[in-house]
Amino acid sequence: MTRGVIGVSITAVTREGYEDLGLDEPRGAVVSSVNEGGPADQGNMQPGDVIVDFDGEPINDTADLQANVVATRPGTTVPITVVRGGERLTLDITIGELNLDEESEPARASAEEISEGFGVVLQDLTPATAGRLGVPNDTEGAVVVNVQRGSTAEESDVRPGDVILSVNRSDVSSATEAVTQLSQIESGRTAFLLVQRGETRVFLQVRKE
């Protein structure tokens, strides 16, 4: 049995922010990162694109997209419609084959954790993700998969792909730990984040709304 893959990380379209993405309604799947050299990358898909149609079928949410991709035979070229900066584009993406051995780590399916007051969406860091992001193999932490536009995190230069290593100098090894630490900070106070960005460690100061 083979399963399709296009090589992207995706997040949900929110009811509050869909218009900022150039959408007429809150549906689709936001591309938060694109795997270098993968099918989506080769088809010119970009982070920030919102996937709204797959092979002519409307995509309502992330689960919808995942179901369609997985069910498509690898090697098939499929038209995928995205909204990019308010403009609709159709990209021809050749579906790749999911490597079940590589993708079957339990942590990979971890739920997204949303940190209220900072405007970031986090996931657990897995070895496969660490390899894609170019961070050291022994890195532990929480991956930033989405930064809300206009949030204090964006203003403080938190970026998708950053790996949060510690919050207020307390090490974190998962998205849940990071969100727990962030939730303890009072509104109006500052969180001191140590993040791994590629091979570089960066110290950021982010105010909680």
pLDDT in tens, 147-182: 888 889 999 999 999 999 999 989 999 888 999 999
pLDDT, tens digit (0-9, with 9 covering 90-100), for 24-76:
999 999 887 788 888 999 999 988 899 999 999 999 988 889 889 888 999 99
Query: Is the domain of 11 the same as that of 48?
Result: yes
Domain that holds residue 79: 4-97
At residue 3 the predicted structure's pLDDT band, cuts being 50, 70 and 90, is: low
Query: Is the domain of 92 the same as that of 11?
Result: yes
Please give the DSSP secondary-structure letter assigned to residue 151: S
Query: Is the domain of 110 the same as that of 64?
Result: no
Count Cβ atoms below 10 Å from residue 101 Cβ, excluding itself: 7
Please give the DSSP secondary-structure letter assigned to residue 41: H
Query: Is the domain of 86 the same as that of 147?
Result: no
Query: Is the domain of 170 the same as that of 127?
Result: yes
Which residues, in sequence order, are CB contacts of 160 under 8 Å at separation 6+? 32, 33, 47, 144, 145, 146, 147
Q: What is the pTM of this model?
A: 0.53
Is the C-alpha dihedral spanning 54, 57, 62, 65 positive or negative? negative
Rounded Cα gap, residues 133 and 47, in angstroms: 14
End residue of a domain, out of 97, 116, 148: 97
Query: Is the domain of 174 the same as that of 203?
Result: yes
Query: Is the domain of 122 the same as that of 187?
Result: yes
End residue of a domain, out of 97, 124, 150: 97
Domain count, the chain: 2
Query: Is the domain of 92 the same as that of 112?
Result: no
Report helix, strand or coil for 167.
Answer: strand
Query: Is the domain of 42 the same as that of 123?
Result: no
Query: Is the domain of 51 the same as that of 129?
Result: no
pLDDT, tens digit (0-9, with 9 covering 90-100), for 63-117:
889 889 888 999 999 999 999 988 999 999 999 987 655 444 333 334 567 777 8
Query: Is the domain of 179 the same as that of 131?
Result: yes
Helix (H) or strand (E) holding 39: helix 39-42
End residue of a domain, out of 97, 118, 150: 97
Please give the DSSP secondary-structure letter assigned to residue 186: P
Residue 112's domain is classified under what CATH number? 2.30.42.10
Rounded Cα gap, residues 132 and 8, in angstroms: 11
Query: Is the domain of 132 the same as that of 161?
Result: yes
* pLDDT for res 108: 38
